[in-house]
A and B are shown apart, each in its own frame.
Chain A
């Protein structure tokens, strides 16, 4: 009974692992194929089943004929994601600290309502915002620019930062603030010198979440940029046409999801230390 249970348990774990890994392995093997290796039907093992080639990987560095010229979009994606995440983290952390420590009231509006207003922005479907954003950026002459995208992404990411940080600051003991105030610190000094240095786990998790959601957005980049600015997901999806170059597509996909796989390792470390349970509720 117990042995059977153990076997079933590991079988389930391995089965799910196979499902998780399958697309990555498929992309990896496909990235070394040529058109011949693909039109012959599905094959998996290089040398045995098809003749491997570096064409797909070379195509990452030039344009035309299945090439994708990935460096430009990669850099744009990095700039936009990191800038928007930083701004969101700063604004979101300040607001979250305020919401966690002070009482705000304006008419019938209380702290909980303000927190809800921040977080509820995540409910807004992108498609509802797309047209107003389009017209707004057109009016500001920021269509098809990195700055325009950064502005839009700040609105998308700040709710995430507020959500994570309000929960986090609520777990930081208030005695910390009070003793700092007694030592004569102003509210801002208390926040900056005492609370913030003790908030690394929350900041890391909030920052990583912002990076993930920023890096992974497709829709806004797709509707608000055209030729001057191109982010990674848009560049890759544009390869997806009637005659898709599967090899360069696969290589490009692997290169662009790689940095976030590193993030999974960092997040797991926080999970193992148990600090994530307090951060995510």
Chain B
């Protein structure tokens, strides 16, 4: 009665607002994807699955998934390894560790597009400091933003700079909440640091590792801002991710119907692949736990 009413009072405002803002656009997108809405003829006509047939043959769309996978998996893997390493480094017994912790957190607080603009000046072929460093190390300057492999590398470097702190934060919080007893037991058994890490630290960190990797993969699968600023998808389409391609079709060419079909397909593919990745990760990392 009154208990039931008050529990609805807690949840309904947030739920209603979210449903109103998100669910309507999503349903609308699905409807629009079956229409021929574009600049010339805006409106909800019905053209059946034409847009979906078109995207099935759109090589540019499917190639963008390959690039997205490379960019997301590559950068998240690097972020995880580096973030874990850094968290272990400042976990204990380091001078000025609070200073370094703050310093390591800073990049993730800064606005990605704004830092991407700065990074773009740093990667400038003749006027930027990155090639200055390359020259200092005795190599020829590299065309960072105008050669496809290097443009991809540049974006991954910026992503690693920006988001390794997130991994670091999650993993450090995890390390700091670990119980002490297993470490004492390992020390009594005479296990060295490497053995302790493999048998004790890593298995206990597996659940939080999985969580952190999944969250980052979800965020990385949406990558668009930094691509827009650093390379604009170029050279050619060498760094064009799925989000960026949909952005071009929908908000540049204003092919609203087709972009909606692309969006919905992208969303479904992302949901399926992220679920599979989550399952596989959980199996691989937690099996080690049982073995130990």
Taking beta carbons and an 8 Å cutoff, which residues of A are in contact with B?
9, 12-13, 16-17, 19-23, 26-27, 30, 38-39, 41-42, 44, 91-92, 94-95, 97-99, 101-102, 104, 114, 117-118, 121-136, 151-152, 154-155, 158-159, 162, 186-188, 191, 212, 215-216, 218-219, 223, 232-233, 236-237, 239-240, 244, 246, 249-250, 253, 256-257, 260-261, 263-265, 267-268, 271-272, 274, 276-278, 280-281
Contact = CB atoms under 8 A, between A and B. Distances in A.
A151 B94 contact: no
Nearest to B113: A218
Interface residues of B, number: 88
B9 interface: yes
A158 B211 contact: no
10 contacts: A20-B106, A26-B121, A95-B15, A130-B250, A188-B6, A188-B9, A223-B251, A257-B111, A267-B169, A280-B169
B276 interface: no
B9 A128 contact: no
B98 interface: yes
B94 A9 contact: yes
B270 interface: yes
B118 A253 contact: yes
A261 B107 CA distance: 8
Contacts of A158: 14, 17-18
Interface string B91-103: 0001000101111
Dominant SS among interface residues on chain A = helix
Contacts of A186: 2, 6
B137 to A, nearest CB: 14
Given A94-B14, A253-B118, 15 more contacts: A9-B89, A13-B89, A38-B127, A41-B126, A91-B14, A92-B14, A123-B218, A136-B25, A136-B28, A249-B117, A263-B109, A267-B105, A271-B176, A277-B177, A280-B170
B110 A155 contact: no
Contact of B176 (A19, A135, A277): A277
A35 B168 CA distance: 38
Contact of A126 (B18, B224, B256): B224
Given A23-B119, A131-B250, A216 B112 contact: yes
Contact of A257 (B105, B110, B267): B110
Interface string B244-267: 101100110000100110011011
A272 B98 contact: yes
Contacts of A125: 221-222, 224, 243, 263, 266-267, 270
Contacts of B128: 42
Contacts of A102: 7, 10-11
A202 to B, nearest CB: 14
Contact of B13 (A22, A42, A91, A277): A91
Contacts of A267: 105, 169
B150 interface: no
B203 interface: no
Contacts of A20: 103-104, 106-107, 161
Contacts of B260: 131
B257 to A, nearest CB: 10
B197 to A, nearest CB: 14
The 4 closest A-B pairs by CB, nearest first: A98-B10, A132-B25, A95-B14, A277-B177
B3 A187 contact: yes
